[in-house]
Chain A
Amino acid sequence: MKQQMVSGRTSRTMMLVVVAILSLVFSACAAQSSAPAADEKFVFGLVLVGPINDGGWSQAHYDSAKYIESKTPGSQMVYVDKVNPADRPNVKVEQVVDELIAKGAKLIITTSDDFKDGTREAAKAHPDVTFVHASGDDVITGKAPANLGNLMGRMEYGKMIAGCAAALQSATGNISFIGPLVNDETRRLADSAYLGAKYCWNQRGGDPAALKFNVTWIGFWFNIPGVTLDPTKVVNDFFTAGSDVVISGIDTPEAVVEAGKAQAAGKAVFAVPYDFKEACAKGEAACLGVPYFNWVPSYTKLINDVKGGTWKQEFTMFGPDWADINAVETSGIGFAKGKALTAENATKLDAFIAELAGGLNLWTGPINFQDGTAFLKDGEVATDKQVWYMPQLLEGMEGQSVSK
């Protein structure tokens, strides 16, 4: 038996020494490999809450930025995706922003409601960089430092069109809405979908009492196992409970995927996904169409403004280009019709879109809140602010107006 010169304790020392040496060696490598950003380029940074291929909200941002990169010479996007507590625990928005600025970003666009506090702190820490928080409202509330603006699309129109498509195609008038978490934005959009559905249901001569509009909130913008409700299960529960159209308000495409499967199994059910132009591809046979964000026009303007030094702090709302709501260069909100929408209904939907373009405003009273109190008196038209800070679901909708 050999003499034991090295004990277990010393072996652990060895291990740690090796680890320490390795870290030092590699840190030297890392220091060498960080390249400075080129001067003539304009770098803009994107902070995304979901993955770049989520088939929804985050992909809409990413694809728009990619489009701009390809069209605008010298512009370069840097991004970090999946910035959320499930995918990247311990990573704060401020940290991610630091990394993007280290890559040379002069404009930072953060794209989730949940980045509100982080974006504000990051903007305070980097007064020389322009920040835009998409879906935030710090400019309205007065909390924004001078270098932070807000940007959001008038998705109310997209949701109205979505609701209309659902009401046109539904055989039963039993429509469901799968929502993320309950807040002003999500209530506003669920309400818009309901208004569109109600209008088109009545237009086609449906019994007003037969229209059912049920809202279920899963708890977050996408599925987080163990934390949110499982959207796949929620959608299937809708179908089981008798809905034949599901409108999605979440970032990911479970609704259209499950509706596609149910169609394949012989059920006449449909879905309207959300956010991303190509979302119908995940379940074409069941897809009535998708209201989507096209960030190309607004991002292009932002980049030009920041580059040219003409950027001003603003709360910017952009909408569809009514001349052609699907024009890439000009329309910020679009609606891509799906294959499942019948030709007859497609014509009716176009007529509805034309009415909206002609000035039809569904936010016109009388409209009551879910609890029966009056929101808009007869003939009263809601202001942008009233719509933005939507406190409740509307009368006629089922589901929670506030989270429990």
Chain B
Amino acid sequence: MKTQFVALRTPVIAMGVALAVTAVLLLLAGADVLAAFGVLLGGALTTPSRISDMLMLLAPLLLCAVGLTASFAAGQYNLGIEGQMTVGGVAAMWWLRGYQDGSPVILYWIGAVLCGMLMGAVWAMLVALLKRYMHVSEIFAGLGFNFVALGLALYLVFGPWKRPGVASMSGTEPLADALWLPTLTGTRLTLITPILAIVMLAIVWRLIRHTHWGLQVRACGLSALASVRMGVPATRRTFEAMALCGACAGMAGALQIIGVYHSLVPNVASGIGLMGLLVALLVRADVRWVALVAFFFAIITSGSIQLPLALSIDSSISGVLQGLIVLAIIVARARRGEDAA
């Protein structure tokens, strides 16, 4: 039985340790530690354009993290999230390529997002299939499919969908201007993106926490065997949870295409899925905290862009801090005797 003192103390200490180690690293690099933390933790909030960039990072991050809480609830460590996001982008691009001047744009936006969700879900189901019927760990299967997805995107960008004459790492020929999601004046913020992320958060929250379906999913997560004995269709629920996660990731990929990159770039996922994993590891299957933790991570990541300019510090320190926080919390949980994830 954990004591009140320990329960209160552990996360605070874990955070403190993560911040302290980062501070030491910054000191070793000869940086002004306070100023660096200032930029890291606050830099993203200083101007409307920076806030909008942060929100545009937060939205896909939130989508991935929300999806992952669903898969975590079913006990599935869906490391294939990056690939699911990538194929979501690919599918969206496939749909958008049918656009001709004068076609109703809204159809193409909705179609792109739906295609992305569908393809993301299918990609996740492949992992679930391998796990269920071939006994391949979903972790390895997911990672494998990430490479396949990246390969697919690279193939398309440098092959069939390449720009006229010049294949370029910066992606396919940009979409027609009409297909770019409209932004708030003076920023790169497309309002619909964070709104969709929040809608998905609400839906997944409701499904996992307040429905019979969600109860069954969580039962599978606790013990697949026991849930089967209780009459839960465990295989089916696991597949559904994975598909839900893939759909969220695919939606994120599609939104990156129409809202951010405006073309298919090889690196659609660009580490957002993995960052979503960190968020999900922190909050575990508890949907309630996803938004806040994702917000915090988006702030750090977005603010870190200013580090090289403001203080000549490499921006990768943001990744170090995020990793340390997750590590510290997991270690703290393990010491407290909780399940590590």
Contact = CB atoms under 8 A, between A and B. Distances in A.
B28 interface: no
A310 interface: no
A346 to B, nearest CB: 37
A25 B37 CA distance: 10
Nearest to A102: B47
Interface in B215-268: 260, 262-263, 265-267
Contacts of B338: 8
A114 B166 CA distance: 11
Interface string A92-108: 10111011101100000
Contacts of B41: 22-23, 25-27, 30
A250 to B, nearest CB: 13
B167 interface: yes
A6 B7 contact: yes
Interface residues of A, number: 68
B1 A181 contact: no
Interface string B49-75: 110010001000000000000000000
Contact of A184 (B35, B165, B267, B305): B165
B292 interface: yes
A241 interface: no
Contact of B35 (A29, A81, A181): A29
Contacts of A8: 2, 7, 338
Contacts of B188: 92, 94-95
Contacts of B286: 12
Given A6-B7, A117-B174, A27 B168 contact: no
Given A6-B4, A22-B41, A181-B167, A90 B309 contact: no
Contact of B169 (A18, A85, A88, A103): A85
B170 A89 contact: no
Interface in A1-38: 1-8, 10-12, 14-16, 18-20, 22-31, 33-34
A12 B305 contact: no
B214 to A, nearest CB: 18
Q: Report which residue of B35, B42, B47, B171 has the largest number of chain A beta carbons within 10 angstroms of its beta carbon.
A: B42
A11 B42 contact: no
A12 B11 contact: yes
Interface of A: 1-8, 10-12, 14-16, 18-20, 22-31, 33-34, 78, 80-81, 84-86, 88-92, 94-96, 98-100, 102-103, 113-118, 125, 181-184, 219-220, 226-227, 389, 391, 402-404
Closest 7 CB pairs of A and B: A27-B42, A89-B270, A15-B11, A29-B38, A26-B41, A30-B42, A30-B38
Given A4-B1, A18-B12, A220-B169, 12 more contacts: A15-B15, A26-B42, A27-B41, A30-B303, A31-B42, A34-B310, A88-B305, A89-B271, A90-B271, A117-B174, A183-B166, A403-B162
8 contacts: A1-B1, A30-B35, A30-B43, A80-B305, A90-B272, A100-B309, A113-B168, A181-B169
